[in-house]
Amino acid sequence: MKITGVVIAALAVLGSPLLAQDRKPVPKDSVRVVVPGCTKGMIFTAARRTEDQPSSVDIPEGMHLRMNGAKKLMSDIKAHEGSKIEITGLMKKGQHGQDGIGIGGGVRIAPAPGPGGAGFSASAGGGQTFIDVEGWRTVAGNCPSR
C-alpha cells in the first residue's frame, strides 16, 4: 500500500513540470510571435531580427507593441527595462501590418484619415498594436538610450 502511494506521488511530481511547459493553443484569429526588442513602461519596441531567429510573422524594426500580460510577468519585464529582451506572445492576425510606406528608423508615411475621421482612428485600439505576452527572456545586445 505504501509503495502505491509513493509511485502516485512520484508520478505527480514528475508529471507536473511537463504540464507547466504546455503552451495554450493559438486561437484561429491569432498568431504566436517571438520578437526581440526593448521596453519602456508597457510599450515594447521591436528590434532588428537576426537571421538565425525564425519567425512566421515579420514585425518591422521600430514597431511599437502595447504589452498585455499577467501582473507578475509584466513586473518581471519592467525590472529589466533598458536591457534587450525577447518576448513571446499572441497577436491578432493582420494586426502587425502597418499602413503607409516605411522610410527607415521606424518612421512611416501614411495617408490621412478620410472625411469624418477628424484625425482619430475608429478602431478600438486607436491604431495601437497589441501583444498578449506569454513569456520573455534576455538576449544579447543593448537598448538605445533616450
Q: What is the pLDDT of residues 89-143, one digit of tens each?
A: 999 987 765 555 666 665 666 666 555 544 444 444 556 899 999 999 999 988 8
Pairing of strands 129-142, 64-68: parallel
107 within some domain = yes
Q: Which domain holds residue 29?
A: 25-113+121-142
The strand pairing partners of 134, in sequence order, are none
135 within some domain = yes
1 within some domain = no
82 within some domain = yes
37 within some domain = yes
Global confidence as pTM: 0.65
2 within some domain = no
Contact 127, 79 (CB under 8 A): no
- Band the pLDDT of 145: cuts 50, 70, 90: confident
Secondary structure of 78-122 in HEC code, one letter for each residue: HHCCCEEEEEEEEEECCCCCCCCEEEECCEEECCCCCCCCCCCCC
Structural domains in the chain (count): 1
The strand pairing partners of 40, in sequence order, are 43
Q: What is the pLDDT of residues 31-88, one digit of tens each?
A: 999 999 999 999 999 998 776 666 657 788 899 999 999 999 999 999 999 999 999 9
127 within some domain = yes
Residue found under cell 509511485:
7
11 within some domain = no
Contact 131, 89 (CB under 8 A): yes
Cell of 17: 513540470
